[in-house]
Amino acid sequence: MEHIVIIGNGISGVTAARHIRKNSDKEITVISAETDYFFSRTALMYVYMGHMKFEHTQPYEPWFWKKNRINLKKGFVSKVHSKLNEIEFSDGEKLSYDKLIIATGSKPNKFGWPGQDLKGVLGMYHKQDLENLEKYAANNSICKRAVIVGGGLIGIELAEMLHSRKIPVTFLVREQSFWNGVLPKEESAIINKEITDNGIDLRLGVNLQEIKSDENGNVKSVIIAETGEEIKCNVVGLTAGVSPNIDFLKDSDLEIGRGVKVNRFLETNTPNIYAIGDCAEQHESIEQRRPIEAVWYTGRMMGETVAQTICGNKIAYKPGHWFNSAKFFDIEYQTYGWVWAQPKENEARFYWEHESGKKCIHINYDKNTNQFIGINTFGIRMRHDFFNRVLNKKQTIEYVLEHLADANFNPEFYKLHETEIVAKFNKEHHTNIQLKKKSWARIFST
């Protein structure tokens, strides 16, 4: 029986394992050095915040793996001997495979800052980071102030986490406005305000110069490059993005770029070895996507896809329309299709913001054809299925606005803003779009 070995028990590896099991009887082994069982990495923050216990982040009960004959092995893979079809663990143990899937995910970036390995400097990625956080930032008497370096999704999550334990936070963001490489300036401004409204000391447009140590090797302070200001702190969170976690492949035959290079079939340059998830790098970007996509959903989709290929139904990785979501403190964010930080040449934008300054929608469309390209929503939940269909059928922005009631996914009784939104568009564009009533028939039509 063919032995499929998967390195990494994150969403990509585990999705691949599940689908291989669904489609075949192959022997499956999933390896991780981090935890015994699959857990939701995106949920780690809630463990620190006390919303959940660590076991709640595990989507499957322990019996699941045995029942589905998925072997779990704890160990750190240090080498891949592709000619022998064998992997080697750090303790020297070896395991042979027929097919190998590399799904080792990411690791936090460190840019060689002085002091980046001091005690109290941590990332927010691994389960072990959570343990460090409990040690160095258990409460605000142990940690009088924390400094977070890097303004992405993990950075703002870490800020929210520390804030939940009433630890004062200084948040250093290189950009002039939070996440403005991804979000248009309006959305970015809303998040800036949300951060400062929560009492976070947000510093925009600054870089870290160095982290200073006390006599015991603990963090004492950080120095800001631009101003030379020293900020006293006990914890430094480094959240300046992630990169593929593939150091163990350095001496292997695999072609490596920033990640493990793969073709559209998620195959590496070496036979019988595949790479999926955060650690995989496409030779050429797929449509407008980045060559490396460190996103939960894309990891899952690659897992779904590679399982087909391994089970004999060779199929290219061809993700559908882009979507994503996040939560910035109390503001929920969803996006469907593309809304770039800067409009492209053929694009026009429609933006509506609620008077509270906490809700908005931002629609990107083609200014010549009015074709809908994408939407960002803050504070209003929208139906994935609706926008997927709009994008499939290349509908116009007028169609979307007309059918906003179908798109709405907020809980029942929530105040609806659709009339207001459509009125604003009509006013700005001298159109006469009429909002249609929600229709179950349309929502369920395919």
Give me the residues that bind another protein (CB under 8 A), please. Answer: 11, 19, 22, 40, 42-43, 46-47, 49-53, 56-59, 61, 63, 164-165, 197-198, 296-297, 300-301, 304-305, 308, 313, 315-321, 323, 325-327, 329-330, 332, 334, 381-385, 388, 392, 409-415, 440, 443-444
Pick between residue 83 and residue 413 the one whose CB is nearest to another protein: 413
Q: How far apart are the C-alpha atoms of 403 and 435, rounded to whole Å?
A: 6
The answer for 255, left when phi > 0, alpha when psi is -120 to 50, beta otherwise, is beta
CB of 383 to another protein, least distance (A): 6
CB of 391 to another protein, least distance (A): 11
Query: Residue 67: which residues within 8 A CB-CB, separation 6 or more?
Result: none
Pick between residue 91 and residue 284 the one whose CB is nearest to another protein: 284
Pick between residue 358 and residue 424 the one whose CB is nearest to another protein: 358
CB of 446 to another protein, least distance (A): 9
Token readout for 133 is: 């956080």
CB of 118 to another protein, least distance (A): 27
CB of 171 to another protein, least distance (A): 17
Exposure letters 242-251 (e unless 16+ CB within 10 A, then b)? bbbbbebbee
Pick between residue 58 and residue 109 the one whose CB is nearest to another protein: 58
CB of 278 to another protein, least distance (A): 14
DSSP β-bridge partners for residue 28: 4, 70
Pick between residue 150 and residue 337 the one whose CB is nearest to another protein: 337
Pick between residue 1 and residue 441 the one whose CB is nearest to another protein: 441
CB of 40 to another protein, least distance (A): 4
Q: How far apart are the C-alpha atoms of 420 and 406, rounded to whole Å?
A: 16
Q: How far apart are the C-alpha atoms of 403 and 389, rounded to whole Å?
A: 12
Pick between residue 315 and residue 341 the one whose CB is nearest to another protein: 315
CB of 325 to another protein, least distance (A): 4
**C-beta atoms surrounding 15 within 10 Å:** 24
Pick between residue 127 and residue 384 the one whose CB is nearest to another protein: 384
